[in-house]
Structure 1
Amino acid sequence: MGGGYRFDEESLREFVDMVSRLMEEEREFVIATVVSVRGSAAARVGSKGVILPDGTVKGWLGGWCSENALLTVALSALKEGRPKLVKLVMSGETLKQVSEDVIEVGTPCGGEVLVYLEPAYPKPHIPIFGHNEVTKTLSRLAQLLGFKVTVVDAAARPEDYPGARVLPSLDEAGVRLDRHTYPVLATMGRTDVDVEILLRILGKPVARVFLVASVNRAEEVLRRLARKGVPPEHLEKIESPAGIDLGASTPEELALSVLAGVVAARRGGSGRPMREVKGDPVAKVVRELRKKAEATPS
């Protein structure tokens, strides 16, 4: 724990540099900011800190007691993907979470500290396996939607994938495979290659895996994986045939369908038409008009 990040120019610059390094390293973390202090407390308004998934606290948020009290809530914010506003009450005999947003710290100071916890994540990542018209379009569309893209194929060339990282194989260092990663396999019929890739990534903590394949070919891939000992819980990470049913018939439409499936998985969407999810105002108004017309004498 350092000497504190408050709103003076030098300290704020140090804090920004630290956050920038964490983002460059593609790490997830929580930014904690003290927004108010009442009574006796070691924290100061404007103090900032960073809480890492392993419980490490960088910066100063009022000392060990306050920082220890924040850990559980901060990690919960990181897991849920939403910010939290937490009140630390400097009273009680032991550390106790009174409610979701109130914690008794277990110190006799008698003060109160309000802390805003904001989770931060690396860019969502799509490793694309394959080299064809579908993968080229998929790379462009994914980058437009804010994804980091890595294309992995021996035949892929950087000029075909502007803005993406291009690697000849998974053996190259630096292919991020974490819970913010959504691999897409679009090798277009290379079943042996698909099996080899899946054997290497299914044990990783990736969010979801998208296999572009027909139903029959997907079944063949899954059965081969099962014969090689891949457990059902790993097979369940695979979505195949990949994508949302758009009636796609061109490589560009297929890429759009696949990416729509990735976005739905990331955001928890159903993939159903919005009128079915939110309601159908067109059908409602048309019914009303027809009912009115039927009731009106001709």
Structure 2
Amino acid sequence: MLELADSLLPVLHAGEPVAVVTVIRAARSAPRGPGAAMAVHRDGSVIGSISGGCVEGDAVLLATQVLATGHGMVASLGFSDEAAHAAGLACGGSVDVVIHRVDPADAVARAALEVPVDRSARVGIVVSGVAAGRLIPGDGLPAETRILESAYDGADVFVVQRDPRRRLVIAGAGEHAIALCRVASAAGFAVTVCDVWERLVTAERFPTAERLVVGTPAEHLDDLVGPDPARAAVCVLSHDERVDVPTLAAALELGAGFVGAMGARGTVAHRARLLAEAGVDAAEIARIHAPLGLDLGAPSPAGTAISILAEITAARHGGTGLPLRELTGPLHRSAASCTVAAAPQPA
């Protein structure tokens, strides 16, 4: 529900109720996991999704019923593998969902939805018993999306948790920075661009940036990464060692969760020597993702930006960066369970 805040709040402000369908459990290869949500308006329009399209039709029918009656419900949606393939559906998964109506006067819903995106937010949804679908305040609930057994008058409660947006600080305002800002913003990052050249750090060049800063990145970095550096990524794209080295040193010292820098292999080695001479520990230097990006074979700024964002994402989730066809096991699993498929042997 919280992921749909930008779309739900205007509806509630207009005095209209809305039905929300939230995934509370997912089995096998369901495309979206617990916490995924969709909403159905009284006019039949739909916001968001809870799968790849396999169960949305049934979800809309149930949501329409809940919107009319006001009574929440819990349901299981999905197909067996055989039924899925017979129907032409590829996932073969299933999801348990809770469906509830959110009314404009619901103070619990409004309070949770109005939390700014740069702060964590949570709300509880009762998912069993006669109170199924009731919202409870998030105060005191754990900061993770999961089910709490017997947490509300003996009924189970599903906690919907939304973390603050992750921050991306880009040092340097060249063409690669423009492309990275664009794709990272689309992926949900709060992007800050910092460069010493005022004529490069402009809203016209970076229309999707959350913040533009003119100055030496290293001097501003403490403020730019925010109160939780472990959730921030710092990418150095300036191609100037006078900027690169102090910015990398500052990012490592602050404990930024991801630190990366563009550059040829010779440049990477030279920077590492300069960082070591500046007293940066070897283990810290080894944390730098450089040369930055995964090998996608696309040298354009747009292709490079995608490769950088892919590496940030893989590092965040512990992904292998390998094609899924080279891995075995479920597609949606923890990183720890990833195994590489054996290469086929020649005949």
Same fold (TM over 0.5): yes
For the 8 Å contact 1:122–1:180, the answer to whether it is kept is: no
Task: Within 5 Å, give how 1:1-298 maps onto structure 2.
Answer: 9-10=104-105, 12-13=106-107, 15-21=109-115, 23-24=116-117, 26-36=118-128, 46-51=134-139, 57=140, 74-75=142-143, 77=144, 83-88=145-150, 112-155=154-197, 156-164=201-209, 165-169=211-215, 170=217, 171=219, 175-177=224-226, 178-188=229-239, 190-277=240-327
How far off its partner does 1:145 sit? 2.4
Structure 1 residue 117: deviation in Å? 1.6
Instruction: Report which stretch shifted further, 127-136 or 219-228.
Output: 219-228
Structure-2 residue corresponding to 1:98: none
Q: Conserved in 1, the CA contact under 8 Å of 2:109 and 2:135?
A: no
Is 2:123–2:161's contact at 8 Å kept on the other side of the alignment? yes
Q: How many residues align?
A: 223
Closer/same/farther in 2, CA of residues 136 and 47 from structure 1, 3 Å limit: closer
CA contact (8 A) 1:157 1:166 kept: yes
Q: Distance in 1 between matches of 2:315 and 2:194?
A: 22
Whole-Å separation in 2 of the counterparts to 1:187 and 1:265: 22
Query: Which amino acid letter does the alignment assign opposite residue 175 of structure 2?
Result: E
Partners of 1:150 and 1:133 in 2: CA distance: 15
2-structure distance, mates of 1:130, 1:186: 5
Q: Which amino acid aligns with 1:118?
A: V
- Work out the CA distance in 1 between the residues paired with 2:122 and 2:253: 26
Greater fraction strand: 2
Local SS of the residue matching 1:159: coil
Alignment RMSD, CA only? 3.3
Question: What is the Cα deviation at residue 233 of structure 1?
Answer: 4.5
What is the deviation of 1:180? Answer: 2.7
Q: How far apart in 2 are the matches of 1:45 and 1:264?
A: 35
Are the equivalent residues in 1 in contact too, given 2:122–2:161 (CA < 8 A)?
yes
Q: Partner of 1:175: helix, strand, or coil?
A: helix
Higher helix share: 1
Pair 198,45 (structure 1): closer, same or farther in 2 beyond 3 Å:
same
- After superposition, the C-alpha distances for 1:130-180 in whole angstroms (9 at most, x for unaligned) are 121111111122223232211111222221111112111345585234333
Listed one character per residue, the Cα deviations across residues 12-68 of structure 1 (whole Å, up to 9, x for unaligned) are: 3365235523x34x1234433344469xxxx997242224xxxxx3xxxxxxxxxxx
**Gap change, CA 1:131 and 1:227, over 3 Å in 2:** same
Instruction: Check whether the contact 2:168–2:225 (CA below 8 A) recurs between aligned residues.
Output: no
Tell me the TM-score normalised to structure 1 length: 0.63
Aligned letter for 1:159?
A: E
State TM-score, norm by structure 2: 0.55
The verdict on how the C-alpha distance between 1:115 and 1:205 changes in structure 2, with shifts beyond 3 A counting, is farther
Measure how far apart 1:185 and its partner are.
Answer: 0.8
**What CA deviation, in whole Å up to 9, does each residue of 1:75-126 have, x standing for no partner?**
4x3xxxxx21111379xxxxxxxxxxxxxxxxxxxx6231212221122322
Aligned to 1:4: none
Partner in structure 2 of residue 61 of structure 1: none
Q: Are the aligned partners of 2:112 and 2:121 in contact in 1 as well (CA < 8 Å)? A: no
Residues 128 and 116 of structure 1: CA distance in aligned 2, closer, same or farther (over 3 Å) = same
Taking structure 1 as reference, are residues 20 and 205 closer, same or farther at Cα in structure 2, changes over 3 Å only? farther
Query: In 2, are the aligned partners of 1:31 and 1:120 still within 8 Å (CA)?
Result: no
Distance, in Å, in 1 between the alignment partners of 2:212 and 2:289 is: 24
The answer to whether the 8 Å contact 1:128/1:150 transfers is yes
% identical aligned pairs? 26
CA drift of 1:202 comes to 1.5
Partner SS for 2:284: helix
Q: CA deviation at 1:278?
A: 5.2
